[in-house]
Amino acid sequence: MTLAMAPGFRSPRLLTFDPRISDADNPLGAIENACIAFERGRISFVGNQLDHPGSQLFPLVPLLTPGLIDAHTHACWVGSRHDEYAIRMAGGDYREIAARGGGIVASSRALAAATEDEIERTLLHRLRRMLSLGVTTCEVKSGYGLLPELELKQLRAIAKVATNRDAPSIVPTFLALHSVPLEHQLDRDGYISAVRDNTLPRAVALAQFVDAYVDANAFTVDEARGIASNARALGLGVRLHVGQFADVGGAELAAELGALSADHLEHVSARGIDALAAAGTAACLLPVASFTLGQNPPPIAALREAGVALVVASDANPGTAPTESLPLALALAVRLYGLTPEEALIGATRNAARCLGLHDRGMLQIGARADVVAWDVAHEYALVQPWGTSKARTVIVGGARVA
């Protein structure tokens, strides 16, 4: 249930993430002794307490930031794949997991067996838990239905939850090419044609982006190009999974298609990085997945040097990123990938918003959506360390207190 409207807060430290008031000494645009006020779901004031006549009436909290934005999740799944983890830890790879009926196929089977109502309820509960961690906007992909009717069932459930005001805002993505379903193993081209001609035209009304898994043992650049360019012509934005296991040219394809993000990038060439930089395509980093799989990090220094915008997301999924926690991803981005705490936090706020095509959030500035988190820690470095518990005291979405 939505609680009463929160008119504002004051805090010894507020991070705007606004580049207009950021510099080398103040990279996150911090304001000391700050105040923020909301009106009709938007930020009506952000600045020094002394400049707001009513500020003394607002609750005092240790730290204020924009709501976190999780730009890459597979949060719409049902069932459990806990058994796979033991296989993986015992040295089994995805082939062994698949041979025992696990992996994406297991999630697909669970989705097929669930009612739309069950899928909706599971997603809502999951998103509510994410909200309690400070996440106010969440990208959610389909991709476990695989077959046309089941993909649409999953997208309808996501769309239904998106109308719930007690959940984070949802950005729905049609993950068109995730895996070839068992029924089509012998007719790969037929499956891809069915996705293009049957699922895609009907998915357009339910999604804002299209996505495809471009990698070794997944889909080729040509296969992904076919679907993504059709989707783009129908009005969807593009984001792609690229280079998680091998560089097959996915980054170059993302740049060619004007994708807003290329995600994973554990394997990417210098040419691919240059292409991303030239196209303004963000690198969406998913450190929980590389932690689970024991992989080396993406070439962060090269991405940084090329000026590619860095985004950090949870990749929440039941197999390779079994977490719902964007703060955990931020902690691992710093610990495993060598991002500075500032880079990690920008990657889950301002840069995450931009890579989802959202220009009304990710920063605390007048007129932006009032998506705000009041934290129980005094400094932002404590958001990426220590780990494991929620540090959000109050979460505001669109000006309303929801957690």
- Give the H or E element holding residue 267: none
Binding to Zn ion by CB under 5 A, coded x per residue (else -) over 261-300, reads: ----------------------------------------
Residue in the structure block whose two tokens are 């996915």: 250
Chain residues 156-215 in contact with Zn ion, contact rule CB under 5 A:
none
Report whether 118 contacts 66 (CB < 8 A).
no
Name the residue type at position 366: I
Rounded alpha-carbon distances, angstroms, from residue 93 to 99, 102, 180, 355: 10, 11, 18, 31
Cβ-based nearer residue to Zn ion, 151 or 315: 315
Residue in the structure block whose two tokens are 């993909």: 151
Q: To the nearest whole angstrom, how small is the minimum distance from the Cβ of residue 145 to Zn ion?
A: 15
Tokens representing 323 are 């977490």
d(CA 56, CA 30): 20
d(CA 82, CA 345): 30
Cβ-based nearer residue to Zn ion, 266 or 315: 315
d(CA 75, CA 92): 24
Q: To the nearest whole angstrom, how small is the minimum distance from the Cβ of residue 263 to Zn ion?
A: 6
Cβ-based nearer residue to Zn ion, 283 or 395: 283
Binding to Zn ion by CB under 5 A, coded x per residue (else -) over 211-250, reads: ----------------------------------------
The closest of 94, 36, 90 to 66, measured between CA atoms, is 36
Chain residues 300-329 in contact with Zn ion, contact rule CB under 5 A:
315
Q: To the nearest whole angstrom, how small is the minimum distance from the Cβ of residue 72 to Zn ion?
A: 6
Cβ-based nearer residue to Zn ion, 84 or 315: 315
* Dihedral (Cα; 322, 254, 252, 325), 10-degree rounding: -20
Cβ-based nearer residue to Zn ion, 313 or 344: 313
Buried residues in 204-228 as b, exposed as e (16+ CB within 10 A): bebbbbbbbbbbeebbbbebbbbbb
Chain residues 131-160 in contact with Zn ion, contact rule CB under 5 A:
none
Helix (H, G, I), strand (E, B) or coil at 29: coil
Cβ-based nearer residue to Zn ion, 142 or 199: 142
Cβ-based nearer residue to Zn ion, 70 or 315: 315
Q: To the nearest whole angstrom, how small is the minimum distance from the Cβ of residue 57 to Zn ion?
A: 44
Q: To the nearest whole angstrom, how small is the minimum distance from the Cβ of residue 218 to Zn ion?
A: 11
Q: To the nearest whole angstrom, how small is the minimum distance from the Cβ of residue 315 to Zn ion?
A: 5
Q: To the nearest whole angstrom, how small is the minimum distance from the Cβ of residue 201 to Zn ion?
A: 24
Chain residues 329-358 in contact with Zn ion, contact rule CB under 5 A:
none
- Residues in the interface with Zn ion (CB under 5 A) total 1
The residue ranges of DSSP E strands in 18-57, in sequence order, are: 30-39, 42-48
**Which residues share a beta bridge with 141?**
173
Q: Closest CB to Zn ion belongs to which residue?
A: 315
Q: To the nearest whole angstrom, how small is the minimum distance from the Cβ of residue 364 to Zn ion?
A: 29
Q: To the nearest whole angstrom, how small is the minimum distance from the Cβ of residue 356 to Zn ion?
A: 14
Name the residue type at position 141: K
> In the structure, how many helices (H) and strands (E) does the chain have?
15, 15
Cβ-based nearer residue to Zn ion, 9 or 77: 77
Phi, psi (5° rounding) for residue 70?
A: -100, 105
Cβ-based nearer residue to Zn ion, 206 or 265: 265
Q: To the nearest whole angstrom, how small is the minimum distance from the Cβ of residue 2 to Zn ion?
A: 31
The closest of 218, 168, 342 to 158, measured between CA atoms, is 168
d(CA 268, CA 242): 8
The closest of 287, 155, 137, 269 to 210, measured between CA atoms, is 155
Cβ-based nearer residue to Zn ion, 199 or 314: 314
Binding positions for Zn ion, rule: CB under 5 A:
315
